[in-house]
Structure 1
């Protein structure tokens, strides 16, 4: 199942136990609105199978990562112009209020507390502003992942040219497939997307890269230390994962815990190694603006070769069809029977 999530850093919370206390002590938030109706509410909810007082533990490398997870329910009013119907009467409350129920995960890593919200970055920020107000929690900011458009192009190049080699000599991380990409045309108007197990070799994707359009996200299948993950990486900070694509040691876990583990692992292992490998390639001179240009030029030649091969194939098919038609006409002429003889 597809799961979107965004990653956050709690700069003023040093350990998970302090965060748990803040959650337990937080009373429901009530916000009055200028209408004769119930106020807006927001509150934490527990998730079946998880105890806020007993953190879960997952082993990653030589570290035991403790985490807690819960849901946060919040109501936000729509703009006042949407409160009334055409007759000027106030609409029912459920038509004036947007509700959000979001899973939030907190874990401790490297002497700091980090958060995963299973929503995209923009919506997650709105939710966190309500459930973790700065006066109580301190600054809650998007994690510094350092994913750039150049890194996304580098992933494409590594898969197309060097898929049998690790992304860096220092890390056994491989791109074993590219399942999707997303981008914008140069006018930043038309969206581009490709999907499929072999999208990196189809003509449309090559043309997209060759024209140097704005690449926004890629979905590589990553293999690391014998485990396989499908992760979509984007410039917005939103990631996507697919539990059913995972292969590794956590397959026996239930769906909820598997999702949590993959998200944490992506946050603190896969993305940092991906960025570190990219920087290593840049520092060693095996990826640079000039090499990117050469890569795109070679893609241009490949596009030309594929177009010429396709045109040749179509021409050959057309020639074969013409020959078959001519043979059929000759055959009918040889065995044509006049109507008066056919009695």
Structure 2
């Protein structure tokens, strides 16, 4: 599921925000079907009758899941007799959460202007700066740092609490298609080096990487996107939330990844930059070591062939 973070800057409480969404019959002006003059569908519901709570970063977080579903008229098809072509549905959900001071959203859409438009629509916001993007701070250098951690720190935690580790990188998106470039901290070292080299060669065009992380008993496959959005592969998730009802599982997982796991990864990357454990010089050393290892293996293979009698 694709996820992006957004902040609500209206200073309204979480309770009043959700109440306003659910009372859409008081503010929503129905859009008419241009051919039949019927009201187009518009519906907002919440998953949990009562808000739920979870503890993250030592703070109690209150949350609920808001589901929306509405129809729009497709431009240029206003007179098309086929309803499925004339109209198109928009649906999704928001995890609305609060630490009792600020209210924010995690939505199952990318970090983009259309997503902001949807958030404004379901809130009935008409002013300026009411909804603000809060993207994850993801960079290409972070990707390379993560790969270096996997390749050089087998089975080691990257977090001081020993709860977080990057187990492997299972692919990335380069200049065109997804690339398979598995990098793990064990196994065939030369294959890891070749996969890393494949990533480094295409680094200027990389838009996301796919790490598998372990955090506090959870194993999660992620997509980290340079746009500031993330994606969680729910099908491959293993952990304590697995037996929860679907909406509760995806909400708790989204909150844990968004508020604890990714911030910890980014924080540890920042710490390594500050301590110079990771720098341009260290990056150069890392890339050179990959090249040298591959060159050594090439030379060994060539010598072996030269000594072979045909």
TM-score range, shorter chain: 0.7 to 0.9
Q: Pick from 81, 98, 108: which aligns with 2:98?
A: 108
Report the 3-state secondary structure (helix = DSSP H, G, I; strand = E; otherwise coil) of the residue aligned with 2:180: strand
Q: Does 1:267 align with 2:258?
A: yes
Q: Does 1:75 align with 2:67?
A: no
Q: Does 1:56 align with 2:56?
A: no
Q: Pick from 18, 21, 25: which aligns with 1:20?
A: 18
Report the 3-state secondary structure (helix = DSSP H, G, I; strand = E; otherwise coil) of the residue aligned with 1:165: coil
Which residue in the other structure is 1:228 paired with?
A: 219
User: How much does 1:64 deviate?
Assistant: 2.6
How many Å separate the matches in 2 of 1:149 and 1:55?
38
User: How much does 1:34 deviate?
Assistant: 5.6
How many Å separate the matches in 2 of 1:202 and 1:29?
59
User: How much does 1:250 deviate?
Assistant: 2.9
Give 1:94-133 correspondences, 5 Å limit: 94-109=84-99, 111-122=101-112, 124-133=115-124
Q: Pick from 268, 272, 289: which aligns with 1:277?
A: 268
| Contact 1:12–1:137 under 8 Å retained in 2 | no
Report the 3-state secondary structure (helix = DSSP H, G, I; strand = E; otherwise coil) of the residue aligned with 1:213: helix
Structure 2 CA distance for partners of 1:282 and 1:37, relative to 1, 3 Å:
same
Unpaired runs of at least 5, structure 2: 186-190
Aligned residues: 301
Of the structure 1 ranges 206-215 and 267-276, higher mean CA displacement relative to structure 2 is found in 206-215
Q: What is the Cα-based RMSD across aligned positions, in Å?
A: 3.1
How many Å separate the matches in 1 of 2:55 and 2:225?
27
Of the structure 1 ranges 70-79 and 303-312, higher mean CA displacement relative to structure 2 is found in 303-312
Structure 2 CA distance for partners of 1:270 and 1:146, relative to 1, 3 Å:
same
Of the structure 1 ranges 238-247 and 3-12, higher mean CA displacement relative to structure 2 is found in 238-247
Structure 2 CA distance for partners of 1:195 and 1:289, relative to 1, 3 Å:
closer
| Contact 1:194–1:205 under 8 Å retained in 2 | no
How many Å separate the matches in 1 of 2:84 and 2:62?
38
User: How much does 1:174 deviate?
Assistant: 1.4
Structure 2 CA distance for partners of 1:36 and 1:258, relative to 1, 3 Å:
closer
User: How much does 1:94 deviate?
Assistant: 1.7
Q: Does 1:242 align with 2:238?
A: no
Of the structure 1 ranges 105-114 and 304-313, higher mean CA displacement relative to structure 2 is found in 304-313
Structure 2 CA distance for partners of 1:94 and 1:249, relative to 1, 3 Å:
closer
| Contact 2:211–2:222 under 8 Å retained in 1 | yes
Of the structure 1 ranges 235-244 and 30-39, higher mean CA displacement relative to structure 2 is found in 30-39
| Contact 2:11–2:102 under 8 Å retained in 1 | yes
CA deviations over 1:161-216 (Å, ceiling 9, x no partner): 123433254764211122222222xxxxx344226575981635423314543322
Larger Rg: 1
Report the 3-state secondary structure (helix = DSSP H, G, I; strand = E; otherwise coil) of the residue aligned with 1:57: strand
User: How much does 1:287 deviate?
Assistant: 0.8
Unpaired runs of at least 5, structure 1: 85-89, 185-189, 323-343
User: How much does 1:309 deviate?
Assistant: 5.7
Report the 3-state secondary structure (helix = DSSP H, G, I; strand = E; otherwise coil) of the residue aligned with 2:277: coil
Report the 3-state secondary structure (helix = DSSP H, G, I; strand = E; otherwise coil) of the residue aligned with 1:30: coil
Which residue in the other structure is 2:4 paired with?
A: 6
